[in-house]
Amino acid sequence: MNNPLLNKFNTKYNTAPFSEIKNTHFKPAFEAAILSGKKEIDEICSNTENPTFQNTVVELEFSGMKLKCVSSVFFNLNSAETNDEIQKIAQEVSPLLSEFANDIRLNEDLFNRVKVIFDKKEELNLSIEQDTLITNQYKMFVRNGANLNVKDKAKLRELDKKLSKLSLKFGENILAETNAFECLITDKNELKGLPEGAVEAAKMSASEKGKKGWLITLDYPSYVPFMTYIENRALREKLSKAFGARGFQNNKNDNQKAVLEIVRLRYDRANLLGYKTHADFVLEERMAENPLKVQSFLEELLAKARPAALNELKEIEDLAGEDGIEKMQKWDGAYYSEKLKKKLFDFDDEQLKPYFKLENVIDGVFTIANKLYDLKFKEVFDIDTYNKDVKTYIVTQKNEEFVAVFYADFFPREGKRNGAWMTSYKDQWKIQDDNSRPHISIVCNFTKPTETKPSLLTFNEVTTLFHEFGHALHGMLANTTYPSISGTNVYWDFVELPSQIFENWCFEKDALDLFAKHYKTGENLPMDLVQKIKDSANFLEGMATLRQLSFGMLDMAWHGKNPKNITDVKAFENKAFDNTQLYPDVAKNCMSTAFSHIFQGGYSSGYYSYKWAEVLDADAFEAFKENGIFDKETAGKFKEYILSKGGTEKPMTLYKKFRGKEPNSDALLKRAGLLT
């Protein structure tokens, strides 16, 4: 069988030939690529020459490239365009990949060759990047069991296989639960309060499924407006409870056992490797360094945010009381928050949406990237995609120099998980004189266009697009030699800096004037609305901060202690939420069973990093505000030391090279209005 995944991609820019790839190609491609990878490792180990940086460290770095290519295509599709067949293949190949990874990490001959280089690295006159690479490789072996005895190495392999399958299953269950729920409304009166665009989108969703009426789902573009605007409290309750019950319904998609097993296996793995907890293992390779520092960081912010959050909640409760609601519930939060915002600032998201046509916002991020970093984006139609909705762009800089291929996938559909993320199909690296450029993608779930309106974004969706595009810039502007430390391959509590800092331009008039134009008239967003965006930037910031802290504390509760005695997921979660809970508990809802960031994604013991990176981004953006938000010199330094350097040096070293000093948390507290 001719397998396009195993051939050199015969496409412009060597992009993935999606239309030629069939599901049946994946498993044979994985098996062949693993065999090829094993052969490359064997050649390194059997080399009779003494270990050198080139014949060991570099050869190891560039081994398994075909497998990385197959994996990136497959697992990105499993997130953005999955189906039952792809999910079945994922369950079959994940243990193979786990086994192969352990074949490398537990290979004594390979480790010994790397150790020879590591032990004498001071004598080798290595560059900063080379020093980082050999240090990372050595740590990779040690942190993954190279020093274990034979029996413990076998245990580690078994743990990794189980964790790999459980993580996949967790995500599949959430997707199935999200897709399984539908709320069909046949009486238009029940939609009172819902904006016209959301009503039209619900009608279109029903029509696409061959149904009459208005279909509401748990996909964010459907769920969020519903919870924000629907006057019918009983319907808000129904949707809220359905969303909160995902993975917690004692059915075939239940995730309670998976949660308990994942945290126990992670704890066992950490213990096996000599660490007290999974959090201790993870945080050794983070800016935060250890669980104690993370806990102190979260508690310091909690002390500032909780009083503000309680005051904000009182304001919302008073407003709800005017409607006769004696006790606020979770399904009342978004609805009365929006009413309070309208009351305090005399505007709401619906007034802003006509100015945020998706195509205009895309042009906006491109224009801002051009003003800051001299990048140009040209939409092209000859790059293969996995779905007709995916847009493709060629990114260039001065003198038309090729920078990257950029994919953008904006709308929800069945087979695509909720949320928004940046990913890559190919990293950047250098071999001799060839600077091999990256293929970067962002995937979102925005409001779809309807028969009468284009895709009009909420302001929250605008900031989401800027956030993911900030990640994309980190990937696109990568300029390092080695793929494992290129682009977003940095410490997890540093990776959110480029994304979160880019959100700041959404609040600046000079930036908004570039793209916030009425989709019918072309008029700029009026100055009074720009001012209201700025005035309301800190609206309910105490509650928003408390919410993020609650997720970080739940993450650390699961991973920062021995989980062996936990038997009840819900009871444990409630205890973790003790100091951050604002609304009454809903017995049939559970956060943990749908907490994909930590049980499916890479954020276990790392959810705190969103707030950690906010300290960095608030401090970093101060430099732009001091010098001008489009100041070329400041942008040039940010590009040179943050966006292009990847993980070549320690994050704080790179940050200080950009900023000239360590970050100050006062910038975040000041921006959030929490500085007293």
Write out the E strands in 325-431.
376-380, 391-397, 401-409, 421-426, 429-431
Would you tell me how many other CB atoms lie within 10 Å of the CB of residue 223?
21
* 392 bridge partner residues: 380, 407
- Rounded CA gap, 574 and 31, in Å? 44
* Phi, psi values for residue 127, rounded to 5°: -75, 170
Helix (H, G, I), strand (E, B) or coil at 441: strand
Would you tell me how many other CB atoms lie within 10 Å of the CB of residue 34?
20
- Spatial neighbors of 634 by CB under 8 A, at least 6 apart, are 623, 624, 627, 628
Q: Are 619 and 659 in contact (CB under 8 A)?
A: yes
**Mind telling me the catalytic residues?**
468
Report the interhelical angle of 569-576 vs 256-272 (nearest 10°).
Answer: 70
* CB-side neighbour CA atoms (13 Å) of 509: 9
Q: Are 606 and 587 in contact (CB under 8 A)?
A: no
Please measure the distance between the N-terminal and C-terminal CA atoms of the chain and give it in whole angstroms.
68
- Rounded CA gap, 550 and 451, in Å? 40
Report the interhelical angle of 330-345 vs 291-321 (nearest 10°).
Answer: 70
Q: Are 482 and 133 in contact (CB under 8 A)?
A: yes
User: Which is nearest to 562 in space by CA: 238, 212, 275?
Assistant: 275
* Phi, psi values for residue 372, rounded to 5°: -85, -45
- Rounded CA gap, 24 and 197, in Å? 40
Element (H, E) at 136: helix 128-142
Buried (b) or exposed (e) across 91-128, using 16+ Cβ within 10 A? eebbeebbebbbebbbbeebbebbbebbeebeeeebee
Lookup result for tokens 């993320």: 421
- Rounded CA gap, 294 and 323, in Å? 41
Q: Are 572 and 564 in contact (CB under 8 A)?
A: no
CA dihedral over 136, 138, 141, 144, signed as positive or negative? negative
Q: Are 557 and 278 in contact (CB under 8 A)?
A: no
Which token pair is 482?
A: 């080695």
Q: Are 267 and 199 in contact (CB under 8 A)?
A: no
User: Which is nearest to 545 in space by CA: 304, 373, 313?
Assistant: 304
Which amino acid does the sequence have at 211? K
Helix (H, G, I), strand (E, B) or coil at 267: helix
Alpha carbon of 396 to those of 117, 373, 401, 468, 643: distances in Å?
38, 11, 5, 19, 16
Alpha carbon of 59 to those of 34, 64, 142, 395: distances in Å?
16, 10, 19, 30
